[in-house]
């Protein structure tokens, strides 16, 4: 089954957020507030991806 364009965009966003989290976490002095915001956004994107996948089955 092929992913919808929305799901593909969410995957791309999820991967981008993962990279930003990694970069922030490996700075000499990571910003814990920024990390929290990024992780929450990543979780929301993941939940939306799961909802879309469930709706496609």
Greater confidence, 1 or 49? Answer: 49
Query: Can you give the pLDDT at residue 1?
Result: 52
Query: Can you give the pLDDT at residue 57?
Result: 81
CB 9 within 8 A of CB 41: no
Query: Can you give the pLDDT at residue 2?
Result: 65
For 30, left (φ over 0), alpha (ψ -120 to 50), or beta? beta
Q: What is the pLDDT of residues 11-52, one digit of tens each?
A: 999 999 999 999 999 999 999 999 999 999 999 999 999 999
């Amino acid at each position: 089954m092929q992913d919808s364009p929305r799901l593909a965009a969410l995957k791309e966003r999820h991967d981008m957020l993962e990279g930003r989290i990694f970069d922030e976490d490996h700075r000499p002095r990571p910003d814990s507030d920024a990390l929290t915001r990024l992780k929450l956004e990543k979780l929301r994107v993941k939940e939306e991806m799961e909802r879309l996948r469930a709706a496609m089955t």
